[in-house]
Amino acid sequence: MANVATALMLVGFILFIIGVVQVFRRHWKHNGSKRTKWVWIAGLIIMFTGGGLMSTTPEFKAEEAREALQAKKAAEDKKAANDSRKAVAAKKAKAKKAAEASKKAVAAKKAKAKKAAKASKKAVAAKKAKAKKAAKASKKALAAKKARAKKAAEASKKAVAARESAKAKKAAETSKKAVAAKKAAESSSVKAAAARASSTKVAAAKRAAAASAASRKKAIAASSSRAASSSRAAVVNTDPHANPNATVYYTATGTKYHYSDGCRGLSRAGTIMHTTQANAKAKGLTLCGWE
């Protein structure tokens, strides 16, 4: 049956080609018979009849089934290929997206590291600036402390100098006052001695006048006695050892007194003071060995 259908289709195709060629010949050359039309129509009918018979054969149906199966398989393969391609594309897109995300993460990490490095650099710079400022403040405080110490030392030095000056001035004034007091005491002592001597002379004169009124002999005797007394007083006044009012010389730090300010014991003395022999002995001074 399949062979008959194939033969019909082949005969119909040949008749169709012959009819078509004759139609073209007739149309272009204006020759040919009217049977040409029926030839290609008959060929067409025979070809379709063979095709119809071919489609009813088991072989054609099996072929169609195979072709359908192949088409289905091709469609499934195509779908699988499309799915695989889509999966690959999705995988590539996912990989691309992951790569972009990784790139973004790396960029973010780099930016974060850069920011951290910048912050660390700023922190180090701030720390250095703070340390420099602290060192400068410390140096300034040390300089101020040294200046205060120097100022305090100068003030202390001035205070010590002022105290020493005041002390020296006060000591000088005290010494001056002491010398003045000693001079006043010596003057008072001299005046007292002169008053005592004057009183003694007045009493002696009175006694002499009374004695002269009693008797000439007694007056002569009294006169002789006064002359002897005057002679003894003169001897006492000329001998400094026996005169407590005799002027003697000494130093503030010395332990000796001297009858003369030119004594060898005063050759290296600084300030030489004077007083009476009685006052010198009262102070505990003793006579110089050179006298």
Question: Tell me: the pLDDT tens digits for 265-284?
Answer: 888 877 888 999 999 999 89
* pLDDT at residue 169, as a whole number: 78
Low-confidence residues of the chain: pLDDT under 50: 224, 226-237
* pLDDT at residue 216, as a whole number: 57
* pLDDT at residue 278, as a whole number: 92
pLDDT tens-digit map of 99-110: 888 888 898 888
Question: How many other C-beta atoms can be found within 10 angstroms of the C-beta atom of residue 265?
Answer: 19
* pLDDT at residue 163, as a whole number: 78
Mean pLDDT, the chain, as a whole number? 75
Q: What percent of the chain has pLDDT over 90?
A: 4
- Helix (H) / strand (E) containing 248: strand 247-251
* pLDDT at residue 204, as a whole number: 61
- Helix ranges restricted to H, the chain: 2-29, 35-56, 58-214, 216-238, 277-282
DSSP state of 288: -
* pLDDT at residue 228, as a whole number: 42
The CA-based dihedral angle spanning residues 203, 208, 214, 219, taken in that order and rounded to the nearest 10 degrees: 160
Identify the CA nearest to 13 among candidates 63, 49, 54. Answer: 49
User: What is the C-alpha to C-alpha distance for residues 213 and 215, in angstroms, rounded to an integer?
Assistant: 6
